[in-house]
Structure formats: structure tokens, C-alpha cells
């Protein structure tokens, strides 16, 4: 758009779960929002329009996503325009219902309202729809477009800092989540350390999850901590309730560890159902050399997910029966995620027993895994039942006709033959003389002759036709069973989300229980208009230590009222190198994130007002590939702080000005300190500039 701003349209998808994220946003000259997006949702492949990236966008992609596969798409031909994208979606069968195109509700928000066909994007979503077009083109190339788009799972992506921040007398922050940008996640070692691994990170410390979908949810909780006090307290109560029942937790975690990745396994089931395969897809025409083996794998996946959901029901019912301590809370989250909607204390976990019984009793699992084909029980599939009824009718006709032939020949007559030569009338030689003009001799053996008649040929033809119909029905039956299963997506998905939430709660409870040092439950108090936000941390310890080192607890008090006066909102920290200044800052930042997640923290006590965003300027990092010097990086990060920090933010600045001369660095640090004091945001500012300390030591 200009030298100071950029406009981005983004569309990203995890193909293993089939959820599209679609959005469009304006970004600053440092690409802060784009960097944060890449940190929250690290991609493995990036599609972009050839020769259309700005220099600064290309630098971000090359530096932050160095390991990702990058594909430059040809404009309009591969990276579609918005109109071509919407025409393709309308002409395809992705969203059709009774020959009408019904777009998913969240996708509708990106469409223009100038026509009934909705073939144009609205003015604020042009780039977002174009990015969707690039993804659709690539999915069509991979033959995955129908199975992913037909699910209609779209989510609107908005940068975490889009919502406005306002103060009221009741609470202090309108946005639901704390903003953690890419720089803060990197500087505080939340997701990965400076070497690119997770050793010593907060994610590694808190991750005791037993399921893959639980681990993914924990990752998102770390990137998006809460700011609403009631929601934070509800999580705190849930974790406190779990800490006091270690035996049950150990038992449940063992059961959770046995679960497959239900979220991704469901997507695989959907892709193998009749809903997830396009009618002209190559798979419908393919003839598999090992069809039996291929089909077995699909059925094993289906049986595995049924067993997984059955285990989840057992887990939740154990929690319902357990005498779990209920903390006083507006809503106990454990009750909400573990109880059925019709319980005396209603919850949101769906009642799956009837559904599971239906699918488990509808066919013989052992036979299905053995033969690679589902043989349904009576009443499970109407088509299969009708075919069996037809076969039974022909069988009755054959038996009736055989009785007539026994009476005609005056002796015992039997059917002989197999496959296409079935139903030959085997007659003793002595009675064969009664065979008239309508009997054709096929063959004979000693003492017997074998005949066919027009009636046996007619019945054989009918039987073979119905048997082929049965084979066709059985061939399509697996897809139909899978489709019936996927029709209950809301129930299965709700169960998965409840399990993931429970897994994360137990992970955080396990962390709290295993810590040898003192842990406390943070106390949040609403901010009051006209008073400075505070942080009162007593005997805090660095959460991500290895455990082998001796750590001296530290108190950090910012903005607290004492003797009728309020402490300063900014603290200058000075001291020798390797004295622990940076560790103290990281400690406060990490503990604040843990507190907003609802987790207990390693401290004697912690009282604070909610934080809307954490800013960091820690370490001396240049970026040679992007052409950014240490001083340039310092000023960029500091500029973002001064532009976006509010009085509810937490700012951690470590030795600002080290990238330039002492006099210039002191001047810059002094100006930044003055600005941060005026903003009244809670700040730790470390420095080696003693003149700076002298200048501000008397500043109230």
C-alpha cells in the first residue's frame, strides 16, 4: 500500500483436520502481524504470487520460514483472481445442496452482496479471496479439493491485536486474549529457544499432554492467553480440582495415551466416505491390485476411531462418578466438559453411547477386518436388506421348483453345479426317461444325468444378477457407513474438543503437582480508572530452569499502592553482567503468561491486573540475511512498543542502545523511558547507563 504499511490476504489450512483460516489485514512497516501469524501457525509450505511480493515481505518469508517449501504461482493462471475463485466454487459441487450453492456462513462474510450469485468479493476481502483461490488451485492439483472444501469448515482469521483496548469500571480489557507477537514469543523462549529446539521453553515445561490433539490445543493456549478474569479463574479452579486427585489423573492419562489422533483420524474417515469423494474422482475409477489390503486399512481406521470414542465415554463417566472437589466458581469447567447435557449439572460433552452402539452392533468387526469388507447386520442398511430379500425370494422359488421336479420324476432330484453352471437338475438314470422336450441334457455321471430347463436358466440369471447387486452394494457400503458416521460431525467434534481441553488441564495439573518448589494461584483484580495497573510478585522463580541449578527467588513489584502512594509503573534495573537482569525480565514475562493461561505459577504469591499485551526488547540480534543491523532491530522493536503499548501492557526492555555509541544510546534510552513513564504501562527497563539511573532516581 505504501512505504509504511502493507495489505495482506491470507488463507491457511491444516489438511489433516480440514479447517480453512481466511483473512485480510493491514500491517505496519515491520510486518509485525505477518510475523506473529507465522509464529502462531508455522507453515510447512507457502504459496505466493510470483513477482508480487514486496521486499520486506520477502525478507520475512526468507528469514522466518527458511525451512518451509515456497512456491511462486503464476498470477491469474495459478494464483486466481477473486472472481475466478468464486466462480470455481460456485460451479463445483463443494457447497451444493439440492442443486443450490450454499456457502458456509463464515465464508459469506467475505462475499459481496451486489448479486444473488455472490460471485464477487467485498471491498475489504479481495486479497483474502484471492489467497483462497491459490489454495484451491493447489488442492485441485493434489486431488484434495473436494474432500476438504465440501466439509465447509471455515474460520475468520483476525490478527490478535485488531480488537480495540478500552477501560471500564468493571474490567479493564475488552479483547479476550493477550497479544503475544512473534518477537515476544522468540525473546521469552515460549515455543522454541534461540537454537530452534524446544529445550528450556515454556511449551516443553508445561507439555505433559497425552494426546496429539491436546498438544495442539496447549500450543494455541500458549499463543493466546486469556485476559478475562472470570475465564482465568474458571481454569484455575479446574486445575486446582485435578491436583488433589493424582491417582485418578494417572489412570485417566494412561487411557488418554492409548487414544489415536481422533481429530486427524476423523478427517481420514471423511475423505473415504461418499461425502468426501467427488463422483468423477480418479479413486472411483481406480482398480486396486490389493483391494482387500487397502480396504482392511480403512476399516481398521474406522474401528480404531470407534474404540477411541468409546474410551472417551468411559473417561468422562469416570469423572462424573468421581468425587471431584468443586471450587466456588461461576462455572466449573470440569463439570462443563465432562458432564452430559441432560445431567443434573449439565455439561457439553455429547451423549455418544447410542451412536457408538449403533455403529458397533451394525456389523461384525472381526469379519470386516478379516475380509476387508463390511457385512452389515439386518436393519443396518436398506439397500443391502432389499438385495438379501430378493436373493431369498429366488432361493424360495428354486426350492419350490425343485419340489415340483421331484414330483415330476417321482424320485429325489438335486441341484448340481457352481457359479454359472449352477442349478442343473441331477436325475437318476432310471427316472431320466421322463425328461421331456423342455429338458436339455448338459452332462452325466455314472447312474445320473443332469438337465437344465428354461426355468432353471431364468432363476440362475436372476440369482447372478442379485448376487452382483449384493457385491456392488457391499462395495459402496463402507463409504455409506463412513458417511453416516461423518453426518454426526458436531457430536464427534464436540467430544474431541472436550477431551483436548481435559488433556490440557491434566497437563497443567501434572506440572503443578510435580514442581518441588512453592506454587501459588495468581490473584487477578480488575483495574480501576485513574489508578495504575500493578504487578506484585513475591519470591518468583524462573519457570523454565533445568531443575539442577540453585535459584534465588526474586520479588517484582510494579505500580502497587503502599502507604497511600502508588509505586512507579517503570523500574530501572541495573547491575553487573551475568547478574540476572535478563533472567528477571524473562521470569516476569513467562510467569505473567502462565498466570493468564490459568496455570499455577512458581512463586509465593502473585497479584496483578490483567495484561493486554507483552512487549520485549531483549538481546542483541542482528539479521544479516534481511540486511538488518543490531541497532536497526533495536529501533524497530522499540518503535513497535511506543506505537502499540497501552497502560495495561507489560514492557520488558533489556539494555536499549547497546547497538550504537554510548552518548546516542543514552539519549535514546532516556527518551524511551520518559515516553513509557507517561504511558503508565508496567515496565522493567535494564540498563548499564548509570547516568540514566541518576537522571530518573528521583522521578516519582
Take residue 691 and report the three cell numbers written for it: 547516568
- For 399-458, write each residue's pLDDT tens digit: 998 898 898 888 888 888 888 888 888 888 888 888 888 888 888 888 888 888 988 889
Residue 549 pLDDT level (bands cut at 50, 70, 90):
low
- For 5-52, write each residue's pLDDT tens digit: 889 999 999 988 889 999 999 988 888 889 889 989 999 999 999 988
Take residue 247 and report the three cell numbers written for it: 491417582
Question: Are both 368 and 404 inside the same structural domain?
Answer: no
Give the pLDDT score at 587: 93
Domain boundary among 158, 173, 205: 158
Domain boundary among 486, 514, 542: 514
Residue 330 pLDDT level (bands cut at 50, 70, 90):
very low
- Beta strand 96-97 with 69-73 is unpaired
In a domain, 178, yes or no: no
Give the pLDDT score at 491: 93
Question: Are both 442 and 551 inside the same structural domain?
Answer: no
Give the pLDDT score at 171: 43
Q: Could you identify the residue written with the cell 503502599?
A: 562
Q: Give bridge partners of residue 13 from the DSSP assignment.
A: 20
Most confidently modeled range among 271-285, 335-349, 438-452, 490-504: 490-504
Give the pLDDT score at 71: 92
Take residue 596 and report the three cell numbers written for it: 493468564
In a domain, 170, yes or no: no
In this model, does residue 500 exceed pLDDT 70? Answer: yes
A 10 A CB-CB count for 3 gives 8
Give the pLDDT score at 6: 87
Question: Are both 612 and 500 inside the same structural domain?
Answer: no
Spatial CA neighbour of 544 closest among 515, 503, 575: 515
Most confidently modeled range among 99-103, 195-199, 504-508, 620-624: 504-508
Residue 667 pLDDT level (bands cut at 50, 70, 90):
confident
Give the pLDDT score at 232: 93
In a domain, 179, yes or no: no
Give the pLDDT score at 207: 94
In a domain, 430, yes or no: yes
In a domain, 566, yes or no: yes
A 10 A CB-CB count for 115 gives 9
- For 576-624, write each residue's pLDDT tens digit: 877 778 889 999 999 999 999 999 999 999 999 999 999 988 876 666 6
Torsion on CA atoms 645, 649, 654, 656, rounded to nearest 10: 20
In this model, does residue 289 exceed pLDDT 70? Answer: no
Take residue 319 and report the three cell numbers written for it: 469423572
Domain of 631, CATH number, reads 3.40.50.300
Give the pLDDT score at 170: 38
In a domain, 184, yes or no: no
Domain of 87, CATH number, reads 3.30.420.110
Residue 564 pLDDT level (bands cut at 50, 70, 90):
low
* Mean pLDDT over the full length of the chain: 85
- What proportion of the chain, given as a percentage, has pLDDT over 90? 32
Compute the distance between CA of residue 178 and CA of residue 228 in angstroms, rounded to an integer: 9
In this model, does residue 502 exceed pLDDT 90? Answer: yes
In a domain, 426, yes or no: yes
Question: Are both 314 and 439 inside the same structural domain?
Answer: no
Question: Are both 417 and 537 inside the same structural domain?
Answer: no
Comparing 69 with 163, the larger pLDDT belongs to 69
Question: Are both 562 and 682 inside the same structural domain?
Answer: yes
Give the pLDDT score at 327: 43
Spell 18-43 as b/e; 16+ CB within 10 A means b: bbbbbbbbebbebbbbbbbbbbbbeb
In this model, does residue 627 exceed pLDDT 70? Answer: no
Compute the distance between CA of residue 463 and CA of residue 472 in angstroms, rounded to an integer: 14
Question: Are both 689 and 613 inside the same structural domain?
Answer: yes
The residue segments making up the domain with residue 631 are 523-696
The DSSP-derived string for 306-371 is HHHHHHHHHHHHHHHHS-----S-SS-HHHHHHS-TTSSS--S----HHHHHHHHSSB-HHHHHHH
Question: Are both 224 and 261 inside the same structural domain?
Answer: yes
What is the chain's alpha carbon radius of gyration, rounded to the nearest angstrom? 34
Spatial CA neighbour of 431 closest among 408, 455, 402: 408
8 Å CB contact between 634 and 617:
yes
pTM of the model: 0.84
Domain of 422, CATH number, reads 1.10.1420.10
Structural domain tally of the chain?
A: 4
Residue partners of 178: CB distance under 8 A and separation at least 6: 224, 225, 226, 227, 593, 596, 610, 611, 612, 613, 614
In a domain, 167, yes or no: no
Question: Are both 217 and 366 inside the same structural domain?
Answer: yes
Residue 565 pLDDT level (bands cut at 50, 70, 90):
low
Question: Are both 454 and 532 inside the same structural domain?
Answer: no
What mean pLDDT comes out for the span 523-539? 86
Question: Are both 669 and 573 inside the same structural domain?
Answer: yes
Question: Are both 31 and 10 inside the same structural domain?
Answer: yes
Give backbone dihedrals phi and psi of 692, rounded to 5 degrees, phi first: -65, -45
Take residue 597 and report the three cell numbers written for it: 493461561
In this model, does residue 76 exceed pLDDT 70? Answer: yes
Amino acid at each position: 500500500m505504501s512505504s509504511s504499511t502493507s495489505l495482506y490476504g491470507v488463507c491457511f489450512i491444516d489438511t489433516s483436520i480440514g479447517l480453512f483460516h481466511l483473512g485480510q489485514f493491514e500491517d505496519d512497516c515491520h510486518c509485525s502481524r505477518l510475523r506473529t501469524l507465522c509464529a502462531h501457525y508455522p507453515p510447512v509450505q507457502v504459496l505466493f504470487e510470483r513477482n508480487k511480493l514486496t521486499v520486506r515481505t520477502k525478507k520475512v518469508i526468507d528469514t522466518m520460514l527458511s525451512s518451509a517449501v515456497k512456491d511462486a504461482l503464476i498470477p491469474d493462471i495459478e494464483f486466481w483472481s477473486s472472481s475466478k475463485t468464486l466462480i470455481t466454487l460456485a460451479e463445483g459441487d463443494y457447497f451444493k445442496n439440492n442443486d443450490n450453492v450454499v456457502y458456509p456462513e463464515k465464508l459469506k462474510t467475505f462475499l459481496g452482496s451486489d448479486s444473488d450469485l455472490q460471485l464477487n468479493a467485498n471491498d475489504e476481502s479481495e486479497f483474502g479471496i484471492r489467497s483462497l483461490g491459490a489454495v484451491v488451485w493447489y488442492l485441485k492439483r493434489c486431488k484434495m479439493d473436494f474432500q476438504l472444501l465440501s466439509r465447509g469448515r471455515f474460520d475468520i482469521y483476525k490478527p490478535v491485536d485488531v480488537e480495540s483496548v478500552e477501560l471500564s469500571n468493571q474490567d479493564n480489557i475488552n479483547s479476550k486474549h493477550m497479544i503475544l507477537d512473534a518477537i515476544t514469543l522468540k525473546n521469552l523462549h515460549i515455543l522454541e529457544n534461540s537454537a530452534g529446539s524446544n529445550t528450556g521453553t515454556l511449551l516443553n515445561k508445561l507439555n505433559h499432554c497425552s494426546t496429539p490433539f491436546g498438544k495442539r490445543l496447549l500450543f494455541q493456549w500458549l499463543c493466546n492467553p486469556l485476559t478475562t478474569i472470570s475465564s482465568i479463574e474458571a481454569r484455575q479452579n479446574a486445575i486446582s480440582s485435578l491436583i488433589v486427585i493424582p491417582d485418578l489423573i494417572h489412570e485417566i492419562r494412561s487411557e488418554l495415551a492409548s487414544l489415536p489422533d481422533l481429530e486427524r483420524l476423523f478427517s481420514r474417515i471423511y475423505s473415504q466416505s461418499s461425502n468426501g469423494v467427488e463422483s468423477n474422482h480418479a479413486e472411483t475409477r481406480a482398480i486396486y491390485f490389493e483391494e482387500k489390503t487397502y480396504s482392511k486399512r480403512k476399516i481398521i481406521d474406522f474401528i480404531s476411531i470407534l474404540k477411541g470414542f468409546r474410551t472417551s465415554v468411559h473417561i468422562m463417566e469416570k469423572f462424573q462418578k468421581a468425587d471431584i472437589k468443586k471450587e466456588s466458581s461461576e462455572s466449573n469447567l470440569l463439570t462443563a466438559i465432562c458432564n452430559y447435557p441432560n445431567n443434573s449439572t449439565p455439561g457439553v460433552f455429547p451423549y455418544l453411547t447410542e451412536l457408538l452402539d449403533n455403529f458397533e452392533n451394525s456389523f461384525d468387526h472381526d469379519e470386516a477386518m478379516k475380509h476387508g469388507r463390511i457385512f452389515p447386520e439386518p436393519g443396518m442398511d436398506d439397500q443391502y436388506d432389499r438385495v438379501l430379500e430378493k436373493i431369498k425370494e429366488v432361493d424360495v422359488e428354486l426350492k419350490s421348483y425343485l419340489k415340483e421336479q421331484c414330483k415330476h420324476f417321482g424320485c429325489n432330484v438335486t441341484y448340481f453345479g457352481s457359479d454359472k453352471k449352477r442349478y442343473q437338475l441331477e436325475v437318476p438314470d432310471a427316472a431320466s426317461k421322463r425328461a421331456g422336450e423342455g429338458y436339455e441334457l448338459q452332462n452325466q455321471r455314472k447312474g445320473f444325468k443332469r438337465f437344465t430347463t428354461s426355468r432353471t436358466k431364468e432363476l440362475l440369471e436372476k440369482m447372478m444378477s442379485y448376487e452382483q447387486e449384493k457385491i456392488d452394494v457391499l462395495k459402496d457400503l463402507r463409504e455409506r457407513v463412513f458417511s453416516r458416521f461423518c453426518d454426526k460431525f458436531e457430536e464427534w467434534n464436540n467430544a474431541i474438543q472436550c477431551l483436548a481441553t481435559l488433556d490440557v488441564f491434566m497437563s497443567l495439573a501434572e506440572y503443578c503437582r510435580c514442581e518441588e518448589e512453592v506454587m501459588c494461584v495468581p490473584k487477578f483484580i480488575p483495574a480501576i480508572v485513574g489508578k495504575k495497573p500493578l504487578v506484585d510478585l513475591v519470591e518468583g522463580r524462573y519457570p523454565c530452569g533445568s531443575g539442577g541449578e540453585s535459584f534465588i527467588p526474586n520479588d517484582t513489584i510494579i505500580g502497587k499502592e503502599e502507604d497511600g502512594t502508588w509505586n512507579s509503573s517503570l523500574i530501572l534495573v541495573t547491575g553487573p553482567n551475568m547478574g540476572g537482569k535478563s533472567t528477571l525480565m524473562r521470569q516476569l514475562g513467562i510467569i505473567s503468561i502462565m498466570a493468564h493461561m490459568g496455570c499455577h505459577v512458581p512463586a509465593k504469591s502473585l497479584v496483578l491486573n490483567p495484561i493486554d499485551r507483552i512487549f520485549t526488547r531483549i538481546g542483541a540480534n542482528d539479521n544479516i540475511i534481511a540486511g538488518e543491523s543490531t541497532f536497526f532491530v533495536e529501533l524497530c522493536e522499540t518503535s513497535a512498543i511506543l506505537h502499540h503499548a497501552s497502560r495495561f501492557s507489560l514492557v520488558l526492555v533489556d539494555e536499549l542502545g547497546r547497538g550504537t555509541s554510548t552518548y546516542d544510546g543514552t539519549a535514546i534510552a532516556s527518551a524511551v523511558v520518559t515516553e513509557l513513564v507517561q504511558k503508565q504501562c508496567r515496565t522493567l527497563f535494564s540498563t548499564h547507563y548509570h547516568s540514566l539511573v541518576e537522571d530518573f532516581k528521583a522521578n516519582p
